[in-house]
Amino acid sequence: MSDQPTRRSLLASVQTKTPTPLSGPAPSPVDDHALREAAERHGFTAAGSTPPTLRRKRSGAGRSYQLNVRLRPDTASLIYDESNRRDIPIAQVIEEAMEALCQQRGS
């Protein structure tokens, strides 16, 4: 029993293709303006075209409930802009918006 166990190769039956060089004519260059129009039409934006949204640091404000939501980019941008403009937590912006909605419904 001093023989080493033989191991079988699980990849022995896998055959890989060898890469072939590209054949045929080279692709024609794409018009940048047409490409940009098509990207905008389908909702894509160029990298760096919009400034990244700055996240705010967290602060302890007695809030313990986490609410994860999906928002449209314009709605999230409004919330972040208001929070940054007034230098208050995002949660406070949402709380104040809900208070304003409740007051509007009450009147």
The predicted model gives 10-29 an average pLDDT of 70
16 is a domain residue: no
Average pLDDT over residues 29-56: 73
Query: CB-hemisphere CA count at 13 Å for 90?
Result: 15
Q: How many domains does the chain have?
A: 1
d(CA 94, CA 68): 13
Residue 48 has what pLDDT?
59
pTM of the model: 0.45
Is 66 within a domain?
no
Q: In the chain, what is the straight-line distance between the N-terminal and C-terminal CA atoms, in Å? A: 90
Tens-digit pLDDT profile for residues 56-105? 566 666 788 888 999 999 999 999 999 999 999 999 999 999 999 999 99
Domain that holds residue 99: 71-107
Residue 18 within any structural domain of the chain: no
5 within a domain of the structure (yes/no): no
Domain assignment present for residue 6? The answer is no
